[in-house]
Amino acid sequence: MIQLIRGVRDILPEEVGLWQKIEKTATSLFENFGFCEIRLPVIEFTELFARSIGQDTDIVEKEMYTFLNKKDELITLRPEATASVVRAYIQHRLYAVDPVQKFYTIGPMFRKERPQKGRYRQFYQINAEMIGVDSPLADAQLIFMLVELFNRLSVSDISIHLNSLGCPECRPGFKKTLQKFISNTTAKLCSDCDRRKDKNPLRVLDCKVFACREAMKDAPSITEHLCNECSEHFEAVKIALNDLNIIFEIDKRLVRGLDYYTRTTFEVQTGSLGAQSAVAGGGRYDKLIESLGGPSQPAIGFAIGFDRLAEIISSNSVEVSCKPDLFIAALGEKAKNMALKWSCDLSLSGIKTETDFSDKGLKGQMKKADRIAAAYVLILGDNELGEGSAILRNMTTKEQISVPVDGIVENIRLRFAENQKVL
């Protein structure tokens, strides 16, 4: 019987529901942030990847599926999507109308890596790329959107790792400092690091081999060697992330495996996947578009490992469903207006909130809450409004309590966030 090729897999009908759910959640969220879908081919000229990802990277050195076509041209199955997005932006002059363009794209990528759980030779990515904006606020907004996707999918075991890789002004100086540090260390590096320490010493920083990690424990940090502009940019990203309540950690080892990055880089890591801890990664690539022959436009983006994300969700057996966490039954004009504001705020904070703006009475609204299997209902009528409180009802136990209207969003958010019994 003919079997699957090593490193590729089937996504069977029983898993597809989850994949569709993830895709739907991502696309609707991205579109709300102004991203438009772009669909790109899986084959490109090899040169596109060699020039963008970088000749000395693992991907280009040893992981690409490359073949000669009949015209003796080198063709490669795409190992990632950013290069193709940039090629399309340049080739179709998408910058002519407006240099600011925001794309998302979902599809298979191909890398000849050693297969293991969470690492495949054909894997899928969900990409978002924002071209033409250099503000650090854009970096924060993009990371906010990425985190929001994980929230909406109820994936909580994640941490956001953040670093800056500087720019062509300041990175060469840091490379030299790092090379010096490496040449002074007496520790023995793995063969890969030994080979790349001269050309690409930054990669030694994120080597997973224990001996290399130990050797680099006290290595200098790039964030202390940034030029003024890069340093200011990095500080502004951190402030904006704090303002958006995004929890992140600075990770001086985060250098990423692609050469096009400048300034902000980030990864979403999880404890749920064993060795393959990165479930998404991205960063700025302010020089890439120009280096591929396009206009000088900055850009930033990320890619989520679709297979890994699906694995986390199914292993957590988190049910991804459309069932709301909370249904707000509001009666009367004033209550409905309050329900609108509350439902927007609560939805944004990751609590699936549903409201009914029709003129149904309480009975009708409770019936609806039952039908859509809402876990909790918040009841706000004229009586409750007069008393300055609303009723929160557990639809399973039928228990209910009174919650003050004052500070109600925060009150409910905390009850859900603490992952305890909401009531």
Contact 236, 136 (CB under 8 A): yes
Does residue 298 touch ligand HAM according to CB under 6 A? no
The SS3 assignment for 345 reads helix
Measured from the CB atom, is 143 or 182 closer to ligand HAM? 143
Does residue 302 touch ligand HAM according to CB under 6 A? yes
The SS3 assignment for 348 reads helix
Interface region with ligand HAM, contact rule CB under 6 A, candidates 9-17, 152-160, 301-309, 368-376 = 301-309
Range 215-218, long-range pairs (CB < 8 A, 24+ positions): 215/182, 215/185, 215/187, 215/188, 215/189, 216/253
The least distance separating ligand HAM from the CB of residue 122, rounded to whole angstroms, comes to 8
Measured from the CB atom, is 255 or 412 closer to ligand HAM? 255
Measured from the CB atom, is 103 or 234 closer to ligand HAM? 103
SS (H, E, C) 243-288: HCCCCCEECCCCCCCCCCCEEEEEEEEECCCCCCCEEEEEEECCCH
Sole binder of ligand HAM in the list 193, 303, 329, 339 (CB under 6 A): 303
What does the alpha-carbon distance between residue 279 and residue 312 come to, in Å, rounded to a whole number? 9
Does residue 80 touch ligand HAM according to CB under 6 A? yes
Interface region with ligand HAM, contact rule CB under 6 A, candidates 35-43, 300-308, 321-329, 372-380 = 300-308
Task: Tell me, residue by residue from 258 to 277, as one string, x for binding to ligand HAM by CB under 6 A and - for no binding.
Answer: x-------------------
Touching ligand HAM, residues 94-133 (CB under 6 A): 111, 113, 119-120, 123, 125, 127, 129
Sole binder of ligand HAM in the list 126, 153, 278, 320 (CB under 6 A): 278
What does the alpha-carbon distance between residue 172 and residue 225 come to, in Å, rounded to a whole number? 10
Does residue 378 touch ligand HAM according to CB under 6 A? no
Does residue 166 touch ligand HAM according to CB under 6 A? no
Cα distances (Å, whole numbers) of residue 58 to 74, 371, 381 = 18, 53, 62
Does residue 26 touch ligand HAM according to CB under 6 A? no
> Which runs of consecutive H residues, i.e. helices, occur in 96-227?
136-152, 171-184, 191-196, 202-205, 210-215
User: What is the DSSP-derived secondary structure letter of residue 157?
Assistant: S
Does residue 403 touch ligand HAM according to CB under 6 A? no
Question: Which residue, among 227, 259, 221, 241, has the nearest Cα to 139 in the 3D structure?
Answer: 241
Does residue 38 touch ligand HAM according to CB under 6 A? no
What does the alpha-carbon distance between residue 122 and residue 63 come to, in Å, rounded to a whole number? 11
The least distance separating ligand HAM from the CB of residue 172, rounded to whole angstroms, comes to 22
Which residue's Cβ lies closest to ligand HAM?
305
Measured from the CB atom, is 113 or 345 closer to ligand HAM? 113
Neighbour tally for 187: CB within 10 Å: 11
Backbone angles phi, psi at 92, to 5 degrees: -95, 10
**Sign of dihedral through CA atoms 127, 344, 151, 252?**
positive
The least distance separating ligand HAM from the CB of residue 100, rounded to whole angstroms, comes to 16
The least distance separating ligand HAM from the CB of residue 302, rounded to whole angstroms, comes to 5
What does the alpha-carbon distance between residue 379 and residue 392 come to, in Å, rounded to a whole number? 6
Measured from the CB atom, is 309 or 403 closer to ligand HAM? 309
The least distance separating ligand HAM from the CB of residue 263, rounded to whole angstroms, comes to 12
Does residue 58 touch ligand HAM according to CB under 6 A? no
Beta strands 122-131 and 299-305, pairing class: antiparallel
Touching ligand HAM, residues 232-261 (CB under 6 A): 257-258
Sole binder of ligand HAM in the list 307, 311, 354, 384 (CB under 6 A): 307
Q: Both tokens of residue 322?
A: 């459309």
Site size for ligand HAM, by CB under 6 A? 24
Interface region with ligand HAM, contact rule CB under 6 A, candidates 184-192, 235-243, 298-306, 404-412 = 298-306
Footprint of ligand HAM (CB under 6 A): 80, 82, 111, 113, 119-120, 123, 125, 127, 129, 257-258, 278-283, 301-303, 305, 307-308
